């Protein structure tokens, strides 16, 4: 089967509606027109848009394909169609092999059932029989690190716990085709490291499709890249050229003025200096192409060796966070509150995470035309 196509995507298009109510009405209209033989498949109805348009490519056995593109370009939609979650409005997708997809890890779970029951449910949806699950269930539970919560209904799980359980299940199967989205980086740091090691084992001898904004992952894994823009395939080639094409897509965008202002602000507020040209260009390129997000650069600055050498005390550290991410000076009450938390054992990385998950930080990024987080 070597060099044969494992996946064939032929002239595939997908339509979505921006409005659920109108989508229901339009579905009835389409059914009626189709029955009468007068439905025009190319004509978009009100509130509809092409999420993907005329996409064609093949994937050969053991090929490692990275799909790049800005948010909203159709990457996740394409993965879901290959995985059979969505059906194309036009075109055809042929898949020759079993698929394991690390996409929406908690899909298929039932909140009222226990973790233990959901393992059997998820495996049943993946086509596994009970005796097959019995043979590997202890390994799945151990990998998930959730043995103490197996009798607990899933509705009491955190989102991170659900992701860990889902990841342990879907990656326990050795597939012929592996589909990855960046959601596999779930859980705490130790679990993320363990997850990446598991993924590395799986993709070595497996046909792999990955969607990521991390160019280092593309360089490490992919031997081919396709780039999507506004639902259309605009590049198909080797990783080095694909990364350059992707990063240059927005290099001339007017939004870079706002992105540049955001970067300069972080240099000033966190590092206490002006941005150097090389560093400014690097961050603008990555934020402009959405290879990185507002929180990524914020973390990089705070955890940098340059900032570490400043040896800031707790009061100064909190003041910097307020100025950099909330764009204001903290009150004395706020300073005392956070300082007391630091004195009582909370670490700076945890406080940073709280700031970067706040509405104030999201609004700050929005004002600069930047997406705050993945």
Which pLDDT does position 16 carry in this prediction? Answer: 82
In this structure, are 114 and 132 located in the same domain? yes
Rounded Cα distance between 364 and 354, Å, is 15
The pLDDT of residue 29:
63
12 domain residue, yes or no: no
d(CA 196, CA 185): 8
Structural domain includes residue 78: no
Tokens standing for residue 163? 């992701």
- Check residue 1 and give its pLDDT: 45
| Residue 7 domain-assigned (yes or no) | no
Q: Are residue 226 and residue 340 in the same domain, yes or no?
A: no
Verify that 107 and 216 share a domain, yes or no.
yes
Distance CA 225, CA 219 (A): 10
Within this chain, do residues 338 and 281 fall inside the same structural domain, yes or no? yes
In this structure, the strands spanning 232-237 and 224-229 are antiparallel
Mean pLDDT by 10 residues, the chain (374 residues): 80 79 57 57 63 93 91 86 87 87 74 94 87 94 94 89 88 86 64 82 86 83 91 92 80 65 91 89 76 84 90 90 90 90 88 89 83 76
Q: What angle do CA 357, 358, 360 make, to 5 degrees?
A: 140
Task: Looking at the structure, tell me whether residues 118 and 232 fall in a common domain.
Answer: yes
Does the residue 180 lie in any domain? Answer: yes
Q: Are residues 213 and 338 in the same domain?
A: no
165 and 243: one domain?
yes
Cβ-Cβ contacts under 8 Å for 57 (sequence gap 6 or more): 9, 226, 233, 236
In angstroms, the CA 230 to CA 118 distance is 37
DSSP state of 276: P
Q: Is residue 14 part of a domain?
A: no
One DSSP character per residue, 84-101 reads TSS--SEEEEEE-S-EEE
Beta strand spans in 134-284 (E)? 177-180, 207-211, 224-229, 232-237
Contact 267, 274 (CB under 8 A): yes
**In the chain, at which residue ranges do the beta strands (DSSP E only) sit?**
5-17, 48-60, 64-68, 90-95, 99-102, 177-180, 207-211, 224-229, 232-237
Q: Residues 273-312: pLDDT tens digits?
A: 998 888 888 888 777 666 678 888 889 999 999 998 888 8
3-state helix, strand, coil in the chain (%, to 5): 50, 15, 35
Among 188, 218, 248, the domain boundary falls at 248
Residue 243 lies in a domain: yes
Tell me whether residue 158 is in a domain. Answer: yes
Question: Same domain for 193 and 315?
Answer: no
Check whether residue 311 and residue 217 sit in a common domain: no
Task: Give the β-pairing of 207-211 and 177-180.
Answer: parallel
**Host domain of residue 260:** 256-367
Q: Is residue 31 part of a domain?
A: no
Same domain as 271, residue 194:
no
- CATH number of the CATH domain containing 341: 1.10.3130.20
Are 121 and 207 within one domain?
yes
CATH of the domain at 198: 3.40.50.300
Domain boundary among 227, 248, 269: 248
DSSP 3-state of 364: helix
- pLDDT confidence of residue 69: 86
Domain total of the chain: 2
Rounded distance between C-alpha atoms, residue 312 and residue 318, angstroms: 10
Are 185 and 274 part of one and the same domain? no
Domain boundary among 192, 213, 248: 248
């Amino acid at each position: 089967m070597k060099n044969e196509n494992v996946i064939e995507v032929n002239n595939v298009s997908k339509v979505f509606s921006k409005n659920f109510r109108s989508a229901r009405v339009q579905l009835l209209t389409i059914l009626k027109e189709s029955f009468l033989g007068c439905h025009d498949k190319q004509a978009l109805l009100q509130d509809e848009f092409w999420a993907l348009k005329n996409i064609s490519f093949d994937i050969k056995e053991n090929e490692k394909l990275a799909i790049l593109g800005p948010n909203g370009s159709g990457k996740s939609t394409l993965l879901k169609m290959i995985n059979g979650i969505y059906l194309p409005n036009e075109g055809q997708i042929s898949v020759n092999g079993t698929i394991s997809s690390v996409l929406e890890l908690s899909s298929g779970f039932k909140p009222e059932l226990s973790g233990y029951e959901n393992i059997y449910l998820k495996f049943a949806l993946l086509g596994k029989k009970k005796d097959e699950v019995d043979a590997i269930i202890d390994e799945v539970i151990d990998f998930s690190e959730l043995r103490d919560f197996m009798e607990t209904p899933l509705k009491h799980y955190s989102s991170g716990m659900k992701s860990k359980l889902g990841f342990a299940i879907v990656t326990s199967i050795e597939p012929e085709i592996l589909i990855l989205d960046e959601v596999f980086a779930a859980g705490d740091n130790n679990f993320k490291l363990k997850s990446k090691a598991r993924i590395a084992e799986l993709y070595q001898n497996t046909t792999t499709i990955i969607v990521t904004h991390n160019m280092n992952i593309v360089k490490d894994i992919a031997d081919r890249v396709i780039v999507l823009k506004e639902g259309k395939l605009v590049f198909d080639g080797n990783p080095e050229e694909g990364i350059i094409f992707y990063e240059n897509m927005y290099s001339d965008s007017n939004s870079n003025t706002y992105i540049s202002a955001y970067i300069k602000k972080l240099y000033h507020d966190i590092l206490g200096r002006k941005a150097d040209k090389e560093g400014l260009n690097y961050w603008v390129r990555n934020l402009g192409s959405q290879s990185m997000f507002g929180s990524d650069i914020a973390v990089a600055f705070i955890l940098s060796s340059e900032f570490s050498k400043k040896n800031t005390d707790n009061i100064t550290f909190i003041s910097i966070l307020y100025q950099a991410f909330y764009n204001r000076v903290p009150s004395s009450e706020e300073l005392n509150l956070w300082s007391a938390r630091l004195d009582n054992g909370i670490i700076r990385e945890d406080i940073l995470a709280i700031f970067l998950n706040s509405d104030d930080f999201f609004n700050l990024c929005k004002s600069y035309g930047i997406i705050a987080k993945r």
